[in-house]
A and B are shown apart, each in its own frame.
Chain A
Amino acid sequence: MALERGIPDYLTWLLGDPRTQSLFDPTTWGFLFGTIAICLLLLVVGPFLSFVITSLQYGPSEAFYYVARSLFSAVTEDLPRFSPRRTGAIARLAIQEAIGNRVLVGFAIFMLLLLVAGLFLDVKNSNPARIYLSFVLTSTNFLVTAMALLLSAFSLPNDIKSRTIHTVVTKPIRASEIVLGRTLGFATVGTAMLVAMGLVSFVFVRRGLDHDHQVEADSVQIERNAQGEVVRITGETTLDSHHRHTFELGPDGKGQTSTVQGHWHAVERLSDGRFRIGPPEGHLIARAPVYGKLVIYDREGKPGKGVNVGNEWEYRGYIEGGTPGVSTKAHAVWTFTGITPEKYPQGLPLEMNIRVFRTYKGDIEHGVMGELVIRNPNPDAKVRRSGPILFESKEYVPYRRLITNDDLVSEAGGRAGAGKLDLFRDLVDNGKVEIELRCIEPAQYFGVAEPDVYLRPRDASFAVNFFKAYLSIWLQMLLVTAFGVTFSTFLSGPVALLASLAAIVLGFFGQFIRDIATGVQHGGGPIESFIRIITQQNVMTELEVNRLLDKLIKAIDGVLMHLLMAATYVLPDYTRFDTTEFVASGYDIFGSLVGQQLTMAAVYFTAVTIAGYFFLKTREIAA
């Protein structure tokens, strides 16, 4: 899995990185600071706008009294008299209404999709688990979000249109209870659907990937030593589920198959000479990587960002290949902490996902060669580094290697002299160790980013990871529902739906919109891009309209884009809730990310519900 940006730890995300934080650059602020700033801004702007609008109708003094009373009664009346029972009644009503509105159709569509999934899922793919997991998570996410959107955006407007709300708001119920009750009711429906979809999906993935193999009797080769004892057994399995494996068993008659389509099987030779092949393993996993801190050194050996090889992600740098220390000093160093014999009794379980950039084709059958060096971060240590460990790069497939003491030979000419090294005694200092990576083929490059090299001491539970992915979808559904209900407190159903949809789009494509507004992306704002589309003009050329019109379009687009950009800072970044890639690629969803999602959901849910409360409270229901 390629993480476009590393996931910051929870506190850095919440409070901001003190090294880069700047008061005048909102993009460097932590979530907490940003939230406080936006809330303070809204607390001033909201009542002021309300005052201006009310002044037009009633005059400034009445308007001031009106706004002040609304704010005052929110604290003195509505908050202390909040009733869970009334809120529960509204939630219950929302559930009954949702069921009456055939919400279960969404679940039926999902079941239908699963039934016909075999027709469009690529079961011959090299990693079918990824396809299955992506499919169930994406379709669940889409259906649940669509359901949340439709239910929440139309419910209150329908009540207002049919006037059923007249018999509700004439009871001692608060606007806060209506907004919260509706949101919770629809969220409950969404939760029930999500639980059902999650369970069905889990069974679907497990059953869909489960298969058996037999041993092809003709392929079995038994190697024996001079005494006639079995030394090695090799062979092939039958072709099942569009693939077959080779296998190799040791003298004890136990072993495993090769990894094909992302999984392997345990193989055992029974006493009667027959073979038993176990169920597929290794395809539904949740790697729990331990990441280190990366520093890239350029060809002069100075810390830098690495070579830019073109339109690549900004976070990834490339190191030049060549004879280490002779033709280039370019290398990358990851520093890992918390390395103790208790946690890593067998050695360093290293896994890499580095990119390779070839300036010439070379031997395409083989990967570009590189070397790893284990280094002691303490400059005064007796042993500073191990000898190089060679490896052949693999692209798009994780390269896994357990670095044990057997791999650690002291560097020739080192102070300790040639000989075996002990990882923890010689190279780990206060729980810290460094891993140096070099490309040793001249004119070839390795692309590295911080999450590309990690330790994988043990995996997390796949089932728990699956649950975490559904938790992300649930939190997203909760936010979509809250936004839908709040928009529906002052907009008609279709308009509320569009507004909620716009909030989702802005939330998902915030970075893209900011890039357009700041000119990083070409093509212009809404009007310019519309003209370019209908007149089929290239985004890189000047817009072919007269100069005055061009200026006018750009001026209007500028205003619109900056408004949209401002909205992207206020609306939730929904990309944070997309964890499909984690589960599909077999990575544990970081605890830090789950923490960020929970915090974002709690803050936005509260803020949006409070906004909905004020909108409904100040609305003339029967107008």
Chain B
Amino acid sequence: MATQLAEPAAATSDAAASDIVIETRSLTKIYRDFWGRQKVRALSALDLQVRRGEIFGLLGPNGSGKSTTIKLLLGLLFPTSGQALVFGKDATEVTKNERVGYLPEESYLYRFLNAEETLDFYGRLFDMPASVRKQRTDELIELVGLGWARRRQLREYSKGMTRRIGLAQALINDPELLLLDEPTSGLDPIGTREMKDLIKKLRDQGKTILMSSHLLPDVQDVCDRIAILHQGELKELGRVDELLTVQDVAQFRVRGLTKEAEEEIRAVIARHGGELIGEVDHPTLSLEELFLNIVRDSEARPGRRPSAS
């Protein structure tokens, strides 16, 4: 399988570097107990680069390090070793937040506020003047389709509605980079479709999106590139279409053959005058199949993927 790996930081050209929005260098996070003893190694020497304008998916089972990676990128956690850079700045720097939007896993919002108050509050945190806040609030409430519930307290919202207002707050500053933690969780099929369309639309507007999910069809539908994490280690990294292509198997799709000809199809398609549809193709796995293969393989042979290290 072909993979597109993160290149060493030192080798990155200046032009490419300016295009890199997120970069992690041997990013490691170890959780310790009160006495400083190692409790769990949540992330091991992760090297990643996310480029401007792409949708990058972090994929992995529960406890694989997806959320830890996002929290490290947001400065909510401090790395045990290695570096997390966002827009070339250390992830703990507050100024980078001016260009970042974050949708947390559970839309952790103040439930005593209504939708308008919520967006107004987050707008104030970006030091926006009142007129801009008002305009952005109206736009975003319409965008996420909550115009009918804009004055209702969030405690009265369903989970889907909370996700929508959560996304709206992530977009309040019209960010260049969006970090979405499980963006489609809790949404119904229509909501999921709308969320995925919105993510693509945001990408088309030039925004960079890093999303984590364990809903494989969602990732397959929207992501340009993915990284698969398992037990804190990077197992696979590359373009989704390339990762899903099975390179060592050829596939022919034909039409109009007689029953007799079907017996000899593999050897003599051309000689029997059959019509070959399209080019020679390779079969693809579903992302779910790929994911499960990697997890099984990782569990059978623990350790980091040699090519990703």
Contacts and interface: CB of A to CB of B under 8 A. Distances in A.
Given A85-B127, A171-B126, A172-B97, A166 B113 contact: no
A171 B97 contact: yes
Among A89, A97, A162, A174, max chain B CB count under 10 A is at A89
Contacts of A78: 94
Contacts of A623: 31, 77
A170 B107 CA distance: 13
Nearest to B68: A622
B98 to A, nearest CB: 5
A620 B92 CA distance: 10
A172 B166 CA distance: 17
Contacts of A56: 36
A173 interface: yes
Given A97-B112, A166-B104, A83 B127 contact: yes
A588 to B, nearest CB: 43
A78 B74 CA distance: 18
Given A85-B127, A167-B122, A622-B71, A172 B98 contact: yes
Interface in B224-278: none
Given A172-B95, A621-B76, A93 B121 contact: yes
A171 B98 CA distance: 7
Contacts of B112: 96-97, 100
Interface string A508-531: 000000000000000000000000
A620 B76 contact: yes
A623 B126 CA distance: 25
A88 interface: yes
Interface in A164-183: 164-174
B5 interface: no
A89 B121 CA distance: 6
B194 interface: no
A86 B95 contact: no
Given A164-B110, A622-B77, A172 B125 contact: yes
Contacts of B98: 172
B56 interface: no
A88 B106 contact: no
B102 interface: yes
B78 interface: yes
Interface in A520-569: none
A379 B82 CA distance: 84
Interface string A311-323: 0000000000000
Interface residues of B, number: 34
A384 B296 CA distance: 109
A96 B71 CA distance: 28
A86 B108 contact: no
Contacts of A85: 124, 127
A307 B122 CA distance: 69
A531 B110 CA distance: 48
Contact of A96 (B102, B113, B126): B113
A170 B122 contact: no
Nearest to B166: A167
B71 A57 contact: no
Contacts of A164: 108-110
B77 A167 contact: no
Nearest to B90: A69
A167 B104 contact: yes
Given A56-B36, A171-B125, A172-B126, A93 B110 contact: yes
A88 B108 contact: no
A168 B60 CA distance: 27
A172 B94 contact: yes
Contacts of B212: none
B111 to A, nearest CB: 9
A173 B77 contact: no
A142 to B, nearest CB: 27
Nearest to A87: B124
B307 to A, nearest CB: 30
Interface string B11-23: 0000000000000
A623 B68 CA distance: 10
Nearest to B31: A623
B130 to A, nearest CB: 9
A5 interface: no
B66 to A, nearest CB: 13
B113 A163 contact: no
B36 A57 contact: yes
A216 interface: no
Contacts of A4: none
Contacts of B97: 170-173
Interface string B47-81: 00000000000000000000000010011111010
A89 B125 contact: yes
A77 interface: yes
B169 interface: yes
B240 to A, nearest CB: 27
B100 interface: yes
A174 B94 contact: yes
Given A96-B112, A97-B110, A164-B108, A173 B125 contact: yes
Interface in A72-94: 77-78, 81, 83, 85-86, 88-89, 92-93
Contacts of A92: 121, 124
Interface in A96-135: 96-97, 100
B97 to A, nearest CB: 4
Nearest to B106: A163
Interface string B22-58: 0000000001100010000000000000000000000
A77 B95 contact: yes
Contacts of A174: 94
A287 to B, nearest CB: 48
Contacts of A163: 104, 106, 108
A165 B110 CA distance: 9
A171 B127 CA distance: 10
A56 B104 CA distance: 31
A186 to B, nearest CB: 15
Contacts of B93: 77
B78 A620 contact: yes
Interface string B166-206: 10010001000000000000000000000000000000000
Kindly list the 9 A-B residue pairs having the minimum CB-CB distance in the complex, ordered from nearest. Answer: A89-B124, A622-B76, A171-B125, A100-B112, A163-B108, A172-B97, A170-B102, A164-B108, A172-B98
18 contacts: A57-B80, A77-B94, A85-B127, A92-B124, A93-B110, A93-B113, A96-B117, A97-B110, A97-B112, A163-B104, A166-B74, A166-B108, A167-B104, A167-B166, A168-B125, A170-B102, A171-B173, A621-B76
Given A57-B36, A173-B125, A621-B76, 19 more contacts: A77-B95, A86-B127, A89-B124, A92-B124, A93-B121, A96-B112, A96-B113, A163-B104, A163-B106, A167-B166, A167-B169, A170-B74, A170-B102, A172-B97, A172-B98, A172-B127, A173-B94, A621-B77, A622-B76
Interface of A: 56-57, 77-78, 81, 83, 85-86, 88-89, 92-93, 96-97, 100, 162-174, 620-623
